[in-house]
Amino acid sequence: MTEIEINVAEIIDAFPNYGEVLGYKPVTDGHINDTYIVEYLKDNGEKVRFLLQRINTNVFKMPVELMDNVMGVTAFLRKKIEAAGGDPMRETLTVYPAKDGKNYYMAADGGCWRMYNFVEDTYSINELTSAEDFKNAALSFGNFQNLLADYPIETLYDTIPNFHNTPSRFKDFLVALETNASGRKDMARPEIDFVLEREKDCSVITDLLDSGELPVRVTHNDTKLNNVLFDKATNKGICVVDLDTVMPGSSLYDFGDSIRFGANTAAEDEKDLSKVSLNLEYFKAYVEGYLEAAGKSLTENEIKYLPFAAKLLTLECGIRFLGDFINGDVYFKTEYPEHNLVRARTQFKLVEDMEAKYGDMMRIVEDATKAIL
């Protein structure tokens, strides 16, 4: 056995015995946590699988508080799903405690591990090929928001402070400009000017949160398409996963980041900017799905600012890419020297296209609101 196999076997032993361990294998899709599928043979002959996952404590520096958030949210969702006659074992994650009773296991090397149920007969999507798939994802994330609308927000930890605080990201960007650690600032003058011209946009949502004009919600904060599990039988989204970034925030953050990621006609690092635009068909599909599932629990302001949120979260992402380029690529992994600059340009081109189509985006939201709510 290799060292990692020995370690995994030892970690498995830290959790209750669910039967004979038939084996385990790594899941290679994720880029942050280390994940394994563990298969057991129960006494009755049934085979059952679990997810064993090592939390990346370089990224998530408060793993105990993170797990408290996950436990609180999943327990709350379980009750709501059961009350609605659903299946909580398929419609939300279940955390299985370690032998010591904690909802995580802290290994001798400092690694923080947890065990989840494995939701069978599901699949995930990494790349959109239809508006219908995007709408189904919107229904899942909208339902997630709706079910958690009355969650006791004061019990959630802010495990990554200022994660979607765009004014804070803008300040970090200004520090990067001042420091110019990479010496590459002059290579990005047009992009720098693009950001500086939109400084006022950065504080719109945070100001509304501070004034109480927008409510603080439970937010997922990583609403990519592949964080929804789709049922193989129905092709409908049934379970939202990857809850590590669940924190207090604005529902607009989740909506905006979904559009940024899913309604872009090009890849996040497309060099040919002529390929980059907002797919209005996909935007419409997501708006309709999201409002169908979450609309009745959203405030008028939350709905009103949906188009702006799409623009702002795209701008914020571009600011982060550009700041990292100027800092010398210290945060995001890159494949070539200008990779982060290319990513920033892609985001800013998408922002420009959203600005050009903003009237269309507003009309789509207004029409969907009238039709659905």
pTM: 0.93
Residue 82 near residue 88 (C-beta atoms within 8 A): yes
**pLDDT value at position 110?**
85
- Inter-CA distances, 372 with 103, 138, 300, 303, Å: 40, 14, 14, 12
**pLDDT value at position 2?**
39
Return d(Cα 176, Cα 182) in angstroms, integer.
9
Q: Is the pLDDT at 366 greater than 80, yes or no?
A: yes
The lowest-confidence range among 27-31, 130-134, 188-192, 307-311 is 27-31
Confidence label for 6 from pLDDT (cuts 50, 70 and 90): very low
Instruction: Give the residue range(s) of CATH 3.30.200.20 domains in the chain.
Output: 3-120
Amino acid at 85: G
Residue 51 near residue 117 (C-beta atoms within 8 A): yes
Return d(Cα 230, Cα 105) in angstroms, integer.
29
Q: Is the pLDDT at 5 greater than 80, yes or no?
A: no
Confidence label for 181 from pLDDT (cuts 50, 70 and 90): very high
Return d(Cα 42, Cα 29) in angstroms, integer.
28
Confidence label for 296 from pLDDT (cuts 50, 70 and 90): very high
Instruction: Give the residue range(s) of CATH 3.90.1200.10 domains in the chain.
Output: 131-372
**pLDDT value at position 30?**
62
* H helices present in 263-328, as ranges: 280-294, 300-304, 306-327
Q: Is the pLDDT at 278 greater than 80, yes or no?
A: yes
Question: pLDDT tens digits, residue range 323-359?
Answer: 999 999 998 989 999 999 999 999 999 999 999 999 9
The lowest-confidence range among 2-11, 282-291, 314-323 is 2-11
Question: pLDDT tens digits, residue range 256-267?
Answer: 999 999 999 999
> Taking residues 251-277, what's their average pLDDT?
97
Long-range contacts of range 10-15, CB-CB < 8 Å, 24 or more positions apart? 10/107, 11/52, 11/54, 11/105, 11/107, 11/111, 11/113, 12/38, 12/52, 14/98, 14/99, 14/100, 14/105, 14/107, 14/113, 15/52, 15/96, 15/97, 15/98, 15/99, 15/105, 15/115
Q: DSSP characters for 167-197? A: HHHHHHHHHHHHH-TTS-GGGGHHHHHHHHT
**pLDDT value at position 349?**
98
Phi/psi at 54 (5° precision): -95, 120
Q: Is the pLDDT at 71 greater than 70, yes or no?
A: yes
Question: pLDDT tens digits, residue range 30-43?
Answer: 667 889 999 999 99
**pLDDT value at position 3?**
40
Question: pLDDT tens digits, residue range 113-123?
Answer: 999 999 999 99
**pLDDT value at position 297?**
97
How many residues in the chain?
A: 373
Options 3.30.200.20, 3.40.640.10, 3.40.50.2300, 1.10.1200.10; CATH of 3-120: 3.30.200.20
CATH 3.40.50.300 fits 131-372, yes or no: no
C-alpha closest to that of 222 among 249, 238, 244, 250: 244
Structure tokens at 67: 């797990």
**Between vectors from CA 29 to CA 330 and to CA 326, what angle results, nearest 5°?**
15
Question: pLDDT tens digits, residue range 128-158?
Answer: 999 999 999 999 999 999 999 999 999 999 9
- Within 10 angstroms of residue 83's Cβ, the number of other Cβ atoms is 9
Token pair 């940024």: residue: 260
Return d(Cα 361, Cα 370) in angstroms, integer.
14
Biggest alpha carbon distance in the chain? 68
> Taking residues 16-42, what's their average pLDDT?
89
Confidence label for 1 from pLDDT (cuts 50, 70 and 90): very low
Task: Calculate the average pLDDT of the chain.
Answer: 95
- Inter-CA distances, 70 with 267, 282, 286, 311, Å: 31, 30, 26, 29
Question: pLDDT tens digits, residue range 203-239?
Answer: 999 999 999 999 999 999 999 999 999 999 999 999 9
Question: Hey, is 162 helix, strand or coil?
Answer: coil
**pLDDT value at position 58?**
85
